[in-house]
Structure 1
Amino acid sequence: MFARCRRLTIRRRRSASWSAPTLFPSRPLGFHGDVDGTRFHAAYFAQTPGFWTHGDLIEATPHGGWRLHGRSDGVLNVRGIRVGTAEIYRILDDIDEILEAMAVEQQAEEEPGGTRMVLLVVLREGLVLDNTLAKHIRSELARCGSPAFVPARIAQVEALPVTFNGKRSEAAARDAVNARPVRNRDALQNPACLDAIAIHPVLRAPAAVRVSRGSAPDRAVVIDRDRLRQDLQDICERVLGVAPIAWSDNLLGFGADSLALLNLLLEIEHYTGHALPLSAFLAAPSIEGLATSRDLGAAEMAAQQDVRSGPRVRAVGPDDCEPVCHFLEQIFPESGIEAASWRRLFEHGWSDHKRGFVLLDGNAIVGFLGTIVARRQVNGEAALVCNLSSWSVHAKYRGWGMALLAALLRDQSLTYTAFTPQPISWAALLAQRFTTLDSHRIVMLPLLHAETLLAHRPVISFDPAAVRARLTSQQRQIFDDHAPYDCLQFTVSDGPDHAYLVVKRRAHRLNARRLGGPDKVLPVRIPYSDILHCSEPELLLRHLERVKLAILRRQRTAALVVEARLFPVRPRGVMLPLRTCYRSSLLAAGDIDRLYSEIVLLPV
C-alpha cells in the first residue's frame, strides 16, 4: 500500500531559456553570486524539467481529495513506516553530548523493505561515539519516541551539509550516504563534508551476518549461571547491534523490530539447544529473564506474562469488532478500505473459530493479527485452514509484532496460510517454519493463447442455479460460502469433463502519474481477474483463451492472473513475483487454494 504523493510543482512558461519561469508569490529570483543561474536551475528545475520543484508533498486521496503533507525532506519511509525527523531531533536535543544530528534514509537491499534509517551526529568537542553513547541514543529514542525512531546505524561526522542560507540539507546528506552524485552541491557552504560522509566506514560496512558461536555447551552439564548470562549477553549485543547491554536491561527498549527479535530467539535456541517460545521471552525480556527461563521452563515463564505490566496479547472478543475496524482504518489509510469491508473479517460465517488477536496497551488497541478460519475437506478428511490477515502494529510497538504471531501459532492443529505478507512479515513467517507456496503468478492478456480457440467450443455456464446443480456437495458448500462476496463462480464442460472455477475481481494500484500538469495527478487502478480455485486445471488449459475472454468480458477486466503452480505446464504470460506461504503438518502445497481468505473478504 503506497501513499500516492507528488512533489509540489509549478509549470514554467515554455521558453528556450530556463531562466524565465513563471513567477509566483515568494518565489526567489535567483541565488546571490550565481551569475549564469546554473545553481538556481540545478536546485529547482533540474529534477523535473519544465517544472519548479521543491520538497513539499501533496497526496491524492482515493476519494478525490488532496492532502498537504508539507516538507518531504523531513519525512522518512523506512520499511513502510513514515517517520518524521522533527520528532527525532526534538528527542536528540535533550542529549547533551550531541551538537547536531541528521536522520536520513539509506538504500540497503539486505534489509526488509530495502531501506534503513541512519543517524549522522556531530558531537561536542572532544567526545567520541562509543558503544555506551550509542546505546544511550537508541534507548532514548525508543523511550521518548518510538522504536521506529531508532536508527539502524549511527555515524559520528565532523560536520553536516549546510546551504548558503544556513539550512541543513538532508537531500545532500541522503545522496552522500547512498553514494549518489549530490544534486545541490554548489548550493552548500561545506560540500567537502559530503566526501567524508560518503566513505564513512559505519555507513559502508556490510550488514551484520549471523556467525556460528561454535559448539553449544553440553546439555548434560550444568552451566555456571554467570557464564550463561555472559554468553547470552554476547549473543544479544551481537544480534541487536547494541553494546553494552546490562543483564537487567529491557531488550525491547532498544528499538529492535520483530525480525531482529526473532533472529535473537533463533540464536538463543541454537545456543541452549531447546525452543524458547516468544511468549516466554516477552514475560521477562532481559538477559536475566532469558537465563531464568532456561531454569524455570518456558511454561512457567510464559505464565508470568499475565501479571506483568505493559502491552499484552489476547484473543479478539465479541466487543472488539468496531475498535479493531477503527484501528485498521487508521493503520491502513492509503488502502481506501472502509469500515464495512473491514467488518467482514468478523462477520463471515465460515467458522466459529476466534477472529484473531489484539495487542493492547491498557485498553487501547495498538496491534492486530486477523485469522480467517474455515473447515475444509481435503482428500476426504477435514482440516482447519487459517488465513492470516491485516498483521499490523503501531510504530511505537513494532517490537511486539511477533507476540501476536506467537499467540496464533500455539494452535498446532491448524494449517496456516499467508497470501499478502509485506517484506518484513514474509521474513518473519519463513523464520517460523512457513514454506513458500508459490513465488510467481502469471498475467495473461487477451488473445495470448489464441491457438486454444481451434479446439471445439466448451460449454461455459455462469447461471448460478445451473452451476450449483452441477457441483458436488463439497463444491456446493464452497459456492454458498463465497456467493455473498462478489466472486464469479462458473463451470466449464467438455464432454464428460467438468471444471469449477472461483474468480475474484481485483485491482492493481499504480503510483499516481503526472498527466500534463499538477492539476491532473490521478490514481491509476488496473482491474484484473484472479483465479482463486480451479478444480480441473488441465481442462482450463485446454480451453484457456475462450475461458479467459469470457471472464474478462464478464468482470470487465484487463487481464487474467493465476498462480504459476496451478498449471502442470505453464502457459505464456508475464511472470511476476509473488509472496505466498503456508505452514502445515497435514496438507501439502497442492492441497491449498486461496478460498476462504482475505482476498475474498477484502478489496486487497
Structure 2
Amino acid sequence: MAVLGALPADVECRPIREDDWEGVIDCLRRGFPTRSRDYWARALARQSRRPAVDDLPRYGIALAKAGQVVGVLLSLYTRYQGEGGDEIRCNLSSWSVDTEFRPYATKMIAMVLKRKDVTYVNISPAPSTVKLNKAFGFKLFSHGQFAFLPALNPVKGSWRVLEARADLFEMAMLSEAERYMLLEHAALGCLSLICIRDGAAFPLVLMRRRIVHHFIPSCQVVYCRSLSDLAECAGAVGRYLLRRGILLCAVDANEPVAGLVGHYFAKKGVKYFKGPKPPSLGDLTFTELVVFGP
C-alpha cells in the first residue's frame, strides 16, 4: 500500500474549494485525457447545485503542493430518507494523482473514509485500484450486469407508463422521497417513469446511453425498488421505450434476473461498497453516472 505517514511540509490534503476548480480540472484532464475540460467543468457545476450534507466535503479532496493541485478524489454525498431513518451515501469518483505524488494518494481516501455512519460506494473502479479498494475494506455489492430486452416480456394486466412531473396526479401514489428522487433525476436528464397497474405505482429511473461505439441506443437502470419489481413492469416499459427507439436495457445484478429476457455478464461493471448498508441492486441514484453523465 502507498505511504500513509506524514506529508512533506509543502504538500497538503484538504477539501476541494471552489477556487480550486481550474486546478482540479487540469489534474482530472491529466488523469482522464479522453474526458474534455467541458465535461469536468459541467460535472463540478452540477455538483455545486446538489444539497450539502452536514459539514462533509462538497466536492471531494485535493492533494496540493505549494497551492497547486496535484491529486483529486471527487466525492458525491447524498442523504436518503428511509423507514429506518436517514442514511448517508458517498460515491467516490474520478481519482487522479500526478505520478510524482502517488505515494501520498491514499491520504485522500483515508481522509474521506473517517465517517463510520456513511456508506461509501465505488461504481467505476479502475482495474489498477481494485487491490486498493480491498485494502481499505471495500466489498463487492454488484458482481456484473444483466442486459435485457424488456419488449420481449409479456404485458400482464393493464399498465400505464407515465413520465414523472411535479403536477402529475399519480405522483401522489409515491412516497415523498420517491417523488423527490424522480423529479431530481428528470432534471439531470434521466427518464423518470411511474408504472401503474391495479392502483399500485412503481417508480423507475433510466439513463439513456449509447453502446457499441456509441451507436446502439440503450438505457441503464438507475433506480427500481427491486429487481422483481423491474421484471414485473418490464413488458410495459419495453413497449414505451420501443416507441422511442430503445430496445436494450441493463441493470446491476449478481446473477441472471428471473423474469427478464436477456444475458448476464459476470464481472462487467462491478461495484464496491464500504459501510453500514450496501446499496440495493438497481440503485445508482445521485451517483457520478447521473450527476456527471456517462
TM-score band by shorter chain is: 0.7 to 0.9
Aligned partner of 1:335 among 26, 30, 35: 35
Q: Kindly state the Cα deviation for residue 568 of structure 1 after the two structures are TM-superposed.
A: 6.5
TM value normalised by structure 1: 0.44
Match of 1:312 in 2: 12
For 2:117 and 2:226, locate their aligned partners in 1 and report how far apart those are by CA, in whole Å.
28
Q: Secondary structure at the match of 1:398?
A: helix
Q: Kindly state the Cα deviation for residue 572 of structure 1 after the two structures are TM-superposed.
A: 3.0
Q: Secondary structure at the match of 1:424?
A: helix
Q: Secondary structure at the match of 2:228?
A: helix
- Are the aligned partners of 1:529 and 1:551 in contact in 2 as well (CA < 8 Å)? no
Aligned length: 286
Change (3 A) 1:459 1:525: same
Letter in 2 for 1:499: F
Aligned partner of 2:82 among 378, 386, 396: 378
For 2:186 and 2:221, locate their aligned partners in 1 and report how far apart those are by CA, in whole Å.
15
Change (3 A) 1:367 1:557: farther
For 2:205 and 2:49, locate their aligned partners in 1 and report how far apart those are by CA, in whole Å.
18
Larger Rg: 1
For 1:370 and 1:463, locate their aligned partners in 2 and report how far apart those are by CA, in whole Å.
30
Q: Secondary structure at the match of 2:240?
A: helix
Is 2:121 aligned against 1:459?
no
For 1:566 and 1:489, locate their aligned partners in 2 and report how far apart those are by CA, in whole Å.
25
Aligned partner of 2:237 among 538, 547, 551: 547
- Are the aligned partners of 1:341 and 1:601 in contact in 2 as well (CA < 8 Å)? no
Match of 1:418 in 2: 122
For 1:437 and 1:570, locate their aligned partners in 2 and report how far apart those are by CA, in whole Å.
21
Runs of 4 or more off by more than 4 Å in structure 1?
565-568
Q: Kindly state the Cα deviation for residue 434 of structure 1 after the two structures are TM-superposed.
A: 0.8
Match of 1:532 in 2: 222
For 1:356 and 1:329, locate their aligned partners in 2 and report how far apart those are by CA, in whole Å.
16
Q: Which runs of 5+ in 1 are unaligned?
A: 1-260, 263-277, 284-304, 511-523
For 1:442 and 1:343, locate their aligned partners in 2 and report how far apart those are by CA, in whole Å.
31
Match of 1:282 in 2: 5
Map 1:381-530 onto structure 2 (within 5 A).
Answer: 381-445=85-149, 447=151, 449-450=152-153, 452-453=154-155, 455-464=156-165, 465-466=167-168, 467-508=170-211, 510=213, 524-530=214-220
Change (3 A) 1:463 1:338: closer
- Are the aligned partners of 2:226 and 2:281 in contact in 1 as well (CA < 8 Å)? no
For 1:536 and 1:495, locate their aligned partners in 2 and report how far apart those are by CA, in whole Å.
19
Letter in 1 for 2:205: V
For 1:443 and 1:592, locate their aligned partners in 2 and report how far apart those are by CA, in whole Å.
12
Match of 1:347 in 2: 48
Is 2:274 aligned against 1:574?
no
Change (3 A) 1:321 1:592: farther
Q: Secondary structure at the match of 2:110?
A: helix
Q: Kindly state the Cα deviation for residue 398 of structure 1 after the two structures are TM-superposed.
A: 2.5
- Are the aligned partners of 2:47 and 2:291 in contact in 1 as well (CA < 8 Å)? no
Map 1:555-594 onto structure 2 (within 5 A).
Answer: 556-565=245-254, 569=258, 571-576=260-265, 577-585=268-276, 587-590=277-280, 593-594=283-284
- Spell out, residue by residue over 1:399-450, the C-alpha distance to the aligned partner (whole angstroms, 9 max, x if none): 2221211111122221101111111222211221111011111111364x34
- Spell out, residue by residue over 1:222-259, the C-alpha distance to the aligned partner (whole angstroms, 9 max, x if none): xxxxxxxxxxxxxxxxxxxxxxxxxxxxxxxxxxxxxx
- Are the aligned partners of 2:146 and 2:263 in contact in 1 as well (CA < 8 Å)? yes
For 1:418 and 1:536, locate their aligned partners in 2 and report how far apart those are by CA, in whole Å.
20
- Are the aligned partners of 2:91 and 2:287 in contact in 1 as well (CA < 8 Å)? yes
Letter in 2 for 1:410: K
- Are the aligned partners of 1:537 and 1:566 in contact in 2 as well (CA < 8 Å)? no
Q: Determine what percentage of the aligned residue pairs are the same residue.
A: 22
For 1:591 and 1:504, locate their aligned partners in 2 and report how far apart those are by CA, in whole Å.
15
Q: Kindly state the Cα deviation for residue 596 of structure 1 after the two structures are TM-superposed.
A: 1.2
Q: Kindly state the Cα deviation for residue 349 of structure 1 after the two structures are TM-superposed.
A: 2.0
Q: Kindly state the Cα deviation for residue 566 of structure 1 after the two structures are TM-superposed.
A: 9.7
Is 2:266 aligned against 1:596?
no
- Spell out, residue by residue over 1:95-135, the C-alpha distance to the aligned partner (whole angstroms, 9 max, x if none): xxxxxxxxxxxxxxxxxxxxxxxxxxxxxxxxxxxxxxxxx
Q: Secondary structure at the match of 2:280?
A: helix
Map 1:10-409 onto structure 2 (within 5 A).
Answer: 261=1, 281-283=4-6, 305=7, 308-336=8-36, 338-344=39-45, 346-352=47-53, 353-354=56-57, 355-409=59-113
Q: Kindly state the Cα deviation for residue 389 of structure 1 after the two structures are TM-superposed.
A: 1.2
For 2:270 and 2:281, locate their aligned partners in 1 and report how far apart those are by CA, in whole Å.
18
Change (3 A) 1:496 1:468: closer
Change (3 A) 1:459 1:325: same
TM value normalised by structure 2: 0.86
Q: Kindly state the Cα deviation for residue 367 of structure 1 after the two structures are TM-superposed.
A: 0.9
Q: Kindly state the Cα deviation for residue 357 of structure 1 after the two structures are TM-superposed.
A: 0.3
Greater share of strand: 2
Change (3 A) 1:364 1:509: farther
Q: Kindly state the Cα deviation for residue 560 of structure 1 after the two structures are TM-superposed.
A: 0.6
- Are the aligned partners of 2:88 and 2:117 in contact in 1 as well (CA < 8 Å)? yes
For 1:543 and 1:373, locate their aligned partners in 2 and report how far apart those are by CA, in whole Å.
30
For 2:243 and 2:120, locate their aligned partners in 1 and report how far apart those are by CA, in whole Å.
34
Superposed CA RMSD in Å reads 2.6
Change (3 A) 1:349 1:572: same
Q: Secondary structure at the match of 1:349?
A: coil
